[in-house]
Amino acid sequence: MKLRFTPNAVADIDSVYDYIAADDPVAAQTVLLRIGQLVDQLPAHPMLGRKGRVDGTRELIVPNTPFIAVYEIEEPYLNILAIIHTSRRWAEHF
């Protein structure tokens, strides 16, 4: 399976970095590294995340962060749809 990020997911990652880096660039880099390391495991283990709140999606909780990676499996791709802070309102669709 090939990992693919949607434009919305890329924008989310940029926003996460910018927000955290405003106070602590090292912490921002650490959070992105944690997200990246976990998401990189998905092609080999696509069922790693739980069933998503939105039909057809799955959610991967990023430990030690307030973020969830939302993805869908669409052979031959595993699409990262969003990186969501747990305090944000959940979307009805991605």
Give me the amino acid identity at 23.
D
What are the pLDDT digits (tens) for 71-85? 999 999 999 999 999
pLDDT for 20-57, tens place per residue?
999 999 999 999 999 999 999 999 999 999 999 999 99
Domain limits for position 13: 2-85
Q: Is residue 93 a part of any domain in this protein?
A: no
Q: How many domains does the chain have?
A: 1
Tokens of 44: 């080999």
Residue 12's domain is classified under what CATH number?
A: 3.30.2310.20
Residue 90 lies in a domain: no
Asked if 38 contacts 79 with a C-beta cutoff of 8 angstroms, the reply is: no
pTM value is 0.91
